[in-house]
């Protein structure tokens, strides 16, 4: 008997929970962005927290759900909403990689899918690890954003020169308030360098940027994604969502994980074959078998040559002895 729509998607707190990959993405998004972080105490006279709250961001994101408790709210729409940072840092690098590995510089016909497969897996691994580590750190550390006081809207009579908790805040929007304690590290910066930084590494390998006498145009092409990631990071300071410390650590985190993921599948950028990924396990096994067979064949050939030489030398020595002996 076929399952109905209500059976195929569960209900939790009045929110439709889709099944499968879409449901997993939706639940992960909700935990990462809606779960309350650690609320570090703050002071109203802290000038580092007195910046304005920018309603319009330079790298915008979709409107956060303020009606999570509404039974009519459908989290399927929530799961497919695309932030501009995801478009810039994940979708565009993925399209460039697929275009390069399938059309522009494809693999040999006998293994045409290996290169796009491992490159895509490597990119997605870098993005996933970066998002996971960044969101865990954000909620665990609970560092206030530079615009915390504008988000909090402290109640009248709150002490000005004492440490207070988030309970003095009057903001009703759940996400606007609690997202004020997710400053460290910068999620936009780490995600941008995980995706666009990985794309820079990939292009540097495909264009042999670190080989001798490489033309400047190739270097510039490889640097363009990294420059775009840096601009995304800088925009977070301009919007007063983060300070330089948050952005710097987030950028280092994303670029480090991008390099880690890239080197798991590709050789060093200084290698002369840096544009070719490491062989698959099946290819490695076949290459090892061919090498052993070649060594065995060469070893047998050397043994035969030595035996022939010995058989030829012995009669000559005997002949010399016979000719030198007195008659």
Catalytic residues: 188, 242
What span, in angstroms and rounded, lies between the C-alpha atoms of 18 and 9?
4
| Tokens coding 238 | 């301009």
> What is the distance between the alpha carbons of residues 100 and 97, in angstroms, rounded to a whole number?
5
Selection from 195, 203, 197 nearest residue 220 by Cα: 203
In the chain the beta strands, taken as DSSP E runs, fall at 10-12, 15-17, 42-43, 163-164
Instruction: Tell me the three-class secondary structure of 116-170, residue by residue.
Output: HHHHHHHHHHHHHHHHHHHHHHHHHHCCCCCCHHHHHCECCCCCCCCEECHHHEC
Counted residue by residue, the chain has a size of 327
């Amino acid at each position: 008997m076929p399952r109905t729509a209500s059976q195929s998607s569960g209900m939790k707190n009045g929110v439709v929970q889709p099944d499968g990959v879409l449901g997993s993405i939706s639940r992960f998004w909700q935990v990462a962005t809606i779960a309350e972080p650690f609320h570090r105490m703050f002071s109203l006279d802290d000038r580092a927290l007195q910046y304005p709250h920018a309603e319009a961001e330079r790298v915008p994101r979709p409107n956060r759900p303020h009606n999570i408790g509404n039974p009519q709210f459908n989290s399927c729409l929530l799961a497919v909403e695309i932030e501009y940072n995801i478009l810039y840092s994940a979708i565009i690098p993925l399209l460039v990689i697929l275009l390069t590995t399938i059309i522009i510089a494809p693999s040999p016909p006998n293994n045409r899918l290996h290169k796009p497969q491992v490159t895509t897996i490597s990119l997605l691994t870098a993005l996933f690890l970066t998002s996971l580590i960044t969101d865990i750190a954000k909620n665990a550390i609970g560092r206030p954003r530079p615009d915390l006081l504008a988000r909090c809207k402290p109640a009248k009579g709150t002490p000005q020169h004492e440490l207070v908790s988030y309970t003095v805040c009057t903001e009703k929007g759940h996400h606007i308030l609690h997202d004020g304690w997710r400053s460290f590290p910068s999620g936009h910066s780490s995600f941008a360098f995980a995706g666009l930084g990985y794309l820079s590494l990939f292009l540097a390998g495909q264009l042999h940027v670190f080989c001798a006498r490489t033309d400047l145009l190739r270097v510039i092409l490889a640097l363009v994604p990294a420059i775009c990631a840096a601009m995304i990071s800088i925009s977070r300071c301009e919007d007063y969502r983060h300070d330089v410390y948050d952005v710097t650590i987030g950028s280092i985190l994303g670029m480090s994980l991008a390099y880690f993921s890239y080197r798991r599948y590709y050789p060093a950028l200084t290698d002369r074959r840096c544009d070719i990924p490491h062989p698959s396990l099946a290819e490695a096994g076949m290459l090892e078998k061919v090498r052993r067979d070649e060594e065995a064949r060469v070893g047998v050939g050397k043994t035969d040559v030595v035996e022939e030489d010995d058989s030829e030398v012995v009669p000559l020595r005997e002949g010399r002895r016979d000719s030198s002996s007195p008659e």
